[in-house]
Structure 1
């Protein structure tokens, strides 16, 4: 069976790709914007570059495909509702044209009413569009809170639980939901390939019903912590969003979208999971939390919620850097060192490993960024040991990575312009460059104001990279 997977660089998509690769009954195709975003190239995979807004690339991707996974959303864009509709309609139209038999879609639990958030409404509308052509069957899985290492919901719950012994919470913490382990979501998605059913089907998936308060208390129990929650009825959505923005890795926009979705219950509306997939029994919430924490502790996090963000790594990095107005460059001779050791040294930067010295300045910059609605430093690293293109690295994004040669980071903090940080090994030298393209007078003032700090931070950084490489 020939299968197309979209969203393969996202949280669910990366994990599902590994499962599909191990399935000998299928030939796997991927639709990606840039081949560099695929972390592991396998001979079994056929990769098509393009997106759902380009019908020509869609035709190539869906050609001869029997089953297509639709794991796409545009939440990082302001007009995501309109984009999601266009994307879903394009996908369905081309799928019907190419003779695709089945679309498998992962949406969110919930029903349409006056309390339905815009984000959830968009996921429902996407499912309705994908189910609107009688010539293409759609299996529409609906999940609520997904618990797994790197999922947005779990990172929020874990961070709040670990950092705050006493929490003042809004009334939404009493809203009921049915969380589900990411491993169970993947099992349903994989088994959807082999479902012997001809009609469209909505399958609601989840484990036990819990309030968000229960989830935090159960997480605290697994972590061996004692936590107290005090509910304050006057906390608004905006205030709660700022609270999550400050104490968790998610930025304000994501926090607000998630919290708006907590106004209404997200519980299972049908028994189709048991009826059509009797071989899958979802694990308990506590077991899902234990598995997630184990993956984090063992540096086995396959994907994170912020893997697929604004797609900056899909740009031509070299051309982007060439427009920089300001450049701060340091060079050190490394002819007496192995290039692999120097490379290993600089790709270990950030996250729990820190930024060598002057970490307090990075922390201060991260706090300021969070306060003005940026991503801050709390996102850390997916793994403390390795990097891949599209990884988040504190408030940077990995846009290019060449083994024993180069690491290029794109700034995702709030800045009046665009910024990059590059580490490159060339001609027996380590070349460290900070690039900045200012926007207007404010951008230029911003750069000049930071010149004194750059002198100390960047000089020390390149020296520390060399020092660490020698130790390796």
Structure 2
């Protein structure tokens, strides 16, 4: 069976790709915006098509000969995501019809249309409706609520709030009911949808037990062996709640607001199709899913994270932009008898829990300031403390290029009056560390000049610390 996977760099898509790659009865194809977002192993193991769902010609090439296609695409990071989602879904189902695809499997969200439905949830519902409108292609529409797993948006929010706030004052939405589900159970439903014998369009609502968001936070605290007090307040608005999430969790303000707006209405199961068509899947409880996620984090086994797909600028070729940078802070050190492997291992391990060497407090201050003005801040951390891949987040940076034992290029995603990059490169027995900055207007230039003393301390210490760490580890 030929299967096409879209959204393969996303939270669910990356995990589903790993699972489907283990099946000998499936010829897996991958449709991705940028091939660089995948490792050489993936590129050599699968047929990878480059393009997006707004390019009909490339979409049809990818769908040729496909039996089943997974639609795991969402445009939440764009301002007009609701319109883009409709266009994307329409293009996809029309191309699927034209290419003779038999089945499309879509992962959407639980919920019903009413006056309280958020724009985010409404977009997910409308996407499902567009995909289900075809009379030639069967659509299996899996609908999940809060997905709990290491690296998922919902889990990261709940875990961060629970860990950092012994006493929480919360809006009245904490009494809203939902049905969470563990990420592995979601993957089970998606994978088994490939082999489902039904020929009709299906809407399959999935989830474990019904809980309020307050119940979920209390159970999370119990799983973390913490005691927490939750005090709901009736006067916290959506905007205030969004700023609150922005400050205490890894998500930035725009994402927090979209999620908070969705908490106004209950998202619970509306049908029994999960039991009817997938009787062998028994979703684990919420607390079990939390414990499993915590175990993966502690053992450094996080496969994917919610923040890895945010910010399409990492897909661009930055060579020309860097060449145009007006300001450059470059430091060079001779490697001497230290191996390139040790140097590379040191500079790809910076950030996250490992920190930024001697001046961590300055990075923390910059992260807090970034959060206060709606940026991503430092709380995103990193997926793994010892490994990086193109496209994933590293604190308030994005990995835009990486070459083993040679180079790491990071693009700044913090709020800036300009564009910035940080590069580590091994060349001619030297470690070259470069900060590039392209300012916007007068304020952008003032910003750079005001930071020169801090840059002197931070960047000199950084390259010296990398050399010292490498020498100790080599």
Q: TM-score, normalised by structure 1?
A: 0.99
Q: Deviations over 1:91-149 (max 9, x none)?
A: 11111100000000000000000000000000000000001110011000000000000
- How much has 1:335 moved relative to structure 2? 3.0
- How much has 1:44 moved relative to structure 2? 3.8
Distance 2:356 2:452 in 1: 18
Distance 1:343 1:14 in 2: 25
Equivalent residues of 1:326, 1:435 under 8 A apart: yes
The residue that corresponds to 1:13 in the other structure is 13
Task: Say which SS state the counterpart of residue 357 (structure 1) adopts.
Answer: helix
Equivalent residues of 1:317, 1:400 under 8 A apart: no
Query: Higher mean Cα deviation, 19-28 or 318-327?
Result: 318-327
- How much has 1:310 moved relative to structure 2? 1.8
- How much has 1:312 moved relative to structure 2? 2.0
Distance 1:317 1:46 in 2: 26
Equivalent residues of 1:27, 1:44 under 8 A apart: no
Distance 2:143 2:274 in 1: 10
Q: Which runs of 5+ in 1 are unaligned?
A: none
Distance 1:314 1:323 in 2: 18
Structure-to-structure mapping, 1:113-192, within 5 angstroms: 113-192=114-193
The residue that corresponds to 1:208 in the other structure is 209
The residue that corresponds to 2:339 in the other structure is 338
The residue that corresponds to 2:32 in the other structure is 32
Q: Deviations over 1:199-249 (max 9, x none)?
A: 110000000000000000000001111100001000000001101000000
The residue that corresponds to 1:439 in the other structure is 440
Distance 1:228 1:83 in 2: 41
Distance 2:324 2:143 in 1: 44
- How much has 1:313 moved relative to structure 2? 2.0
The residue that corresponds to 1:302 in the other structure is 303
Task: Say which SS state the counterpart of residue 387 (structure 1) adopts.
Answer: coil
Structure-to-structure mapping, 1:319-358, within 5 angstroms: 319-358=320-359
Task: Say which SS state the counterpart of residue 194 (structure 1) adopts.
Answer: coil
Distance 2:443 2:84 in 1: 32
Q: Deviations over 1:43-62 (max 9, x none)?
A: 44100010001111101110
The residue that corresponds to 2:80 in the other structure is 79
Distance 2:295 2:55 in 1: 40
The residue that corresponds to 1:103 in the other structure is 104
The residue that corresponds to 2:366 in the other structure is 365
Q: Which runs of 5+ in 2 are unaligned?
A: none
**Corresponding residue pairs, total:** 472
Superposition CA RMSD, Å? 0.8
Distance 2:461 2:287 in 1: 44
Distance 1:320 1:314 in 2: 13
Equivalent residues of 1:422, 1:434 under 8 A apart: yes
Equivalent residues of 1:351, 1:381 under 8 A apart: yes
Distance 2:326 2:99 in 1: 47
Equivalent residues of 1:241, 1:259 under 8 A apart: yes
The residue that corresponds to 1:220 in the other structure is 221
The residue that corresponds to 2:234 in the other structure is 233
- How much has 1:174 moved relative to structure 2? 0.4
Distance 1:365 1:42 in 2: 37
Q: Deviations over 1:319-354 (max 9, x none)?
A: 231221111100011132100000000001000000
The residue that corresponds to 1:454 in the other structure is 455
Q: Deviations over 1:267-321 (max 9, x none)?
A: 0000000000001000000110010000000000000011111222210122231
Distance 1:296 1:161 in 2: 16
Task: Say which SS state the counterpart of residue 358 (structure 1) adopts.
Answer: helix
Task: Say which SS state the counterpart of residue 308 (structure 2) adopts.
Answer: coil
Q: Deviations over 1:143-187 (max 9, x none)?
A: 000000000000000000001110000000000000000000000
Distance 1:435 1:140 in 2: 45
Task: Say which SS state the counterpart of residue 357 (structure 2) adopts.
Answer: coil
Distance 1:322 1:117 in 2: 43
The residue that corresponds to 1:393 in the other structure is 394
Q: Deviations over 1:48-99 (max 9, x none)?
A: 0100011111011101001000000000000101111111111111111000
Distance 1:79 1:101 in 2: 30
- How much has 1:42 moved relative to structure 2? 5.6
Q: Which runs of 4+ in 1 moved over 6 A?
A: none
Is 1:427 equivalent to 2:428 in the alignment?
A: yes
Is 1:23 equivalent to 2:27 in the alignment?
A: no
Distance 1:317 1:28 in 2: 31
Over 3 Å counting, the alpha-carbon distance change for 1:42 and 1:328 in structure 2 is closer
Task: Say which SS state the counterpart of residue 306 (structure 1) adopts.
Answer: helix
The residue that corresponds to 1:315 in the other structure is 316
Equivalent residues of 1:105, 1:127 under 8 A apart: yes
Distance 1:437 1:42 in 2: 33
